[in-house]
Amino acid sequence: MEKSLIQVLLDKGHDWLGIEVSEDMFPFQPTRKDVRGDLTLMVFPVAKALKCSPVTAANALGEHLQREVDFIEAFEVMQGFLNLIFSKDYWLSSLQALAAQPNYGFAEPDSKALVMVEYASPNTNKPLHLGHLRNIFLGYAVAELKKAHGHSVIKTQVINDRGIHICKSMLAWQRFSPIQANGERETPANSGMKGDKLVGKYYVEFEKHLQEEVKEVLMRWNQGDFSTTSASAQQKYLAFSQAKEGKEEKAQAAIDDKIKELAKSETEILREAQEMLVRWEGRDPETYLLWSTMNGWVYQGFDITYQRMGVDFDALYYESDTFLLGKDQVMEGLARGVFFQKPDASIWIDLTAEGLDEKLVLRSDGTAVYMTQDIGTAIERFKDYPSLSSIVYTVGNEQDYHFKVLFLILQKLGYSWAQNCHHLSYGMVDLPTGKMKSREGTVVDADDLMQEVVDAATAMTQERGQISELNEQERNALYEIIGMGGLKYFLLKVDPKKRMLFNPEESIDLNGNTGPFIQYTHARINSLLRKAGHQSLKHPWAIEAAEINLIKAMCTFPEVISEAADQYSPAVLANYLYELTKAYNSFYQQCPILNETNPALREARLVISKQVADILRRGLLILGISAPERM
> What is the residue extent of each domain of the chain?
2-86, 159-229+266-430, 230-263, 446-622
Where residue 439 falls among pLDDT bands split at 50, 70, 90?
A: very low
Non-local CB neighbours of 187 within 8 Å, separated by 6+ positions: 198, 297
Cα 584 to Cα 38, 159, 265, 529, 560: the distances in Å are 19, 43, 62, 14, 18
Domain 2-86 and domain 159-229+266-430, same fold? Reply is: no
Count of alpha carbons within 13 Å of 230, Cβ hemisphere only?
A: 11
Per-residue model confidence as pLDDT tens digits over 163-179 = 889 999 999 999 999 99
Q: How far is CA 440 from CA 78, 98, 209, 242, 430, in A?
A: 61, 54, 11, 31, 16
DSSP state of 416: G
pLDDT digits (tens, 9 = 90+) for 22-32: 999 999 999 99
Query: Are 372 and 361 within 8 A, CB to CB?
Result: yes
Q: Which has the closest alpha carbon to 569: 577, 578, 560?
A: 560
Is 91 in contact with 551 (CB distance < 8 Å)? yes
The pLDDT of residue 116 is above 60: yes
For residue 314, which of 112, 118, 570, 566 has the smallest C-alpha distance? Answer: 118
Q: Return the SS3 of 151.
A: strand
The rounded mean pLDDT for the chain is 93
Q: Is the pLDDT of residue 366 over 90?
A: no
| Mean pLDDT of all residues in 429-448 | 65
Q: Which of 51, 54, 52, 56 is nearest to 27 (CA)?
A: 54
pLDDT in tens, 51-62: 999 999 999 999
pLDDT of residue 537 exceeding 70, the answer is no
| DSSP reduced 3-state for 159 | strand
CATH number of 159-229+266-430: 3.40.50.620
| pLDDT computed for residue 565 by the predictor | 98
Which CATH number describes the domain made up of 446-622? Answer: 1.10.730.10
Per this entry, what is the length of the chain?
631
* Residue bearing the bigger pLDDT, 57 or 505: 57
pLDDT (average), residues 240-245: 91
What is the mean predicted confidence (pLDDT) over 545-554? 95
Q: What percent of the chain has pLDDT over 90?
A: 84
Q: Is the pLDDT of residue 436 over 50?
A: no
pLDDT in tens, 244-276: 888 899 999 999 999 999 999 999 999 999 999
Q: Is the pLDDT of residue 437 over 80?
A: no
Q: What is the mean pLDDT of residues 106-132?
A: 94
pLDDT, residue 360, reads: 96
Confidence of residue 503 (pLDDT cuts 50, 70, 90): confident
Q: pLDDT at residue 620 above 60?
A: yes
Secondary structure percentages of the chain, helix, strand, coil, to 5 = 60, 15, 30
Average pLDDT over residues 96-124: 95
Q: What is the pTM of this model?
A: 0.89
**Coil vs helix vs strand at 218:** helix
130-148 vs 446-464: helix crossing angle, rounded to 10 = 80
CATH architecture of 2-86: 2-Layer Sandwich (3.30)
CB 125 within 8 A of CB 319: no
Q: In sequence order, what are the residues at sequence separation of 6 or more whose Cβ sits closer than 8 angstroms to the Cβ of residue 413? A: 329, 332, 333, 338, 375
363-to-327, 332, 339, 366, 595 alpha-carbon distances in Å: 11, 16, 13, 5, 75
